[in-house]
Every structure is written in C-alpha cells, then in structure tokens.
Chains A and B, each alone.
Chain A
Amino acid sequence: MSMLHIVNKSPYERNSLAAAVGHMTDGDTLLLIEDGVYAAIKGGAAAGNLEGKTVSVLGADLAARGIGVDKLVDGVSVVDYGGFVDLVEATDKSQSWL
C-alpha cells in the first residue's frame, strides 16, 4: 500500500511537514503544495525533513512565491496540476496533513 502525503503549510509555522514525514513508509510520496513548498528550499532548516524521501512540489505554487527551481533541494521533482492528479492516481490513498 502506498500513500500520497500532501502538505500545504509552511514548516516554519506549523508541524504539518514533520507529522507527514514521521508517518511516511517505504513507497510513499510527499507532495508539497501552497505554503508547503517552502520546505523544499535548499539550505532551509526544514530541508532535512526531505532527506531520503520521494518528494514532489507543485510548480505553480513555487512560481507564485518567487522560488526558482534552482533554489530547491536536489532530487525534488516539480509537477504541474496534471502531475498532481497522476500522483493521486499512482498511490492507493491520499493523506492531507492540514
């Protein structure tokens, strides 16, 4: 069973990212959207949470916040809304860490 963990809150304001990461198992994917995308900035204190995880970030939310792809942690993949749907489809369940 694989799960898509969706985080939409800043890791510097809420503990949603830590909660999501703490509940991930092998084969799960983390998707960062809205203010959750700030977690993927290289050099940020929250970036360590993504280590060893399969991570996707919604491109439109990155662009809105002025975060260039060059600012991201290595290995993170940027997806569009279609890619979001593909992730939901490819996993058995979705869990939103609101």
Chain B
Amino acid sequence: MSEIKKFMYVNRRAPYGTIYAWESLEVVLIGAAFEQDVSLAFIDDGVYQLTKGQDTSGIDMKNFSPTYSALGDYEVNKIYVEKESLEERGLTLDDLQHLVWEDEDDDWAEKDSIRLVSRAEMADVLAGQDILFNF
C-alpha cells in the first residue's frame, strides 16, 4: 500500500439542492488522511459549489462553503474548474472563492489552488487519473 495513486473527486452537482456536494467534501477530507495524490474537478453544476459569499442563514442549512478554503491545509491544492461550465452558467472565476495553499518547498509562498481548464483539458486531466470518485 505504499504506492501513491492519483485520486480525483469529480463534482457535478450544485450545493444544497442535493447532498452530493457536502458528501463529496466529507470524503475528500477523509481521503486526505491517506496521503494520496488528490485532485478535485468541478464540472457542470459542480462549479456552483465554489461560489463566494454563500449565506445559508435563510434556508436552515449548514453553510459548508468555508471548508473549501481549508483544503489547502490538507495538501489538496489541485482544484480543476471547467471554463465552459462556468461560461454556460453566466459565471466567471471572479464569482468563485479565491482558494490558495502554502508551498513549503517555496518558503511557504501562497499559491492559487484553482486551475481553470477547458473541457478538452479536463478530459486529459480525467484520463490521467488512477481512480475517479463521482459526486
């Protein structure tokens, strides 16, 4: 079990309307303890999970969006967001949280976690993984 595998969590659902987004986040955090090479993909309605300024006080549900900003501390710092998915929904990168991580090999420099990729690039990213978890 010493071999490091490339794990990718593929998120395609909006938050709050269903439990998928939250469940995915829980599994990512659990999985982070196993020291694998973890990436996240946000495709289709999954891009809605990362919008900034979420305030669930009016709908009696837990706002789990602040948790995404903690992912960098768990060495989950490869977050792929599909450009076409954002555009189709009238969104841009500016509508999303600014997610960062600190690179210990570079004097703890703060670096962006989000990588905006095209649909074609996302296909390549998916193809390059060992294991895909779908939410």
**What's the A-B contact tally at a CB cutoff of 8 Å?**
73
Whether A64 lies near B63 (C-beta < 8 A) is yes
Docked CA distance A38–B45 (Å): 9
Q: Which residues of A contact B105 (CB under 8 A)?
A: none
* A66 touching B17, Cβ below 8 Å: no
From 35 to 83 in chain B, residues with beta carbon under 8 angstroms from any chain A beta carbon are 44-45, 48, 51-59, 61, 63, 65
Q: How large is the interface on B (under 10, 10 to 19, 20 to 34, 35 or more residues)?
A: 20 to 34
Q: Find out whether the CB atom of A44 lies under 8 angstroms from the CB atom of B53.
A: no
Q: Are B45 and A13 in contact (CB under 8 A)?
A: yes
Of the four ranges (under 10, 10 to 19, 20 to 34, 35 or more), the interface on chain A belongs to 20 to 34
CA distance A43 to B92 in the complex (A): 11
Give 12 pairs: A residue, B residue, CB < 8 Å, sorted on A: A9-B17, A10-B48, A13-B14, A41-B89, A44-B88, A44-B89, A45-B90, A61-B16, A65-B15, A65-B48, A65-B51, A66-B52
In order of increasing CB-CB distance, the 3 nearest A-B pairs are A60-B58, A43-B90, A44-B90
Which residues of B does A touch, CB under 8 Å?
13-17, 44-45, 48, 51-59, 61, 63, 65, 88-91, 95
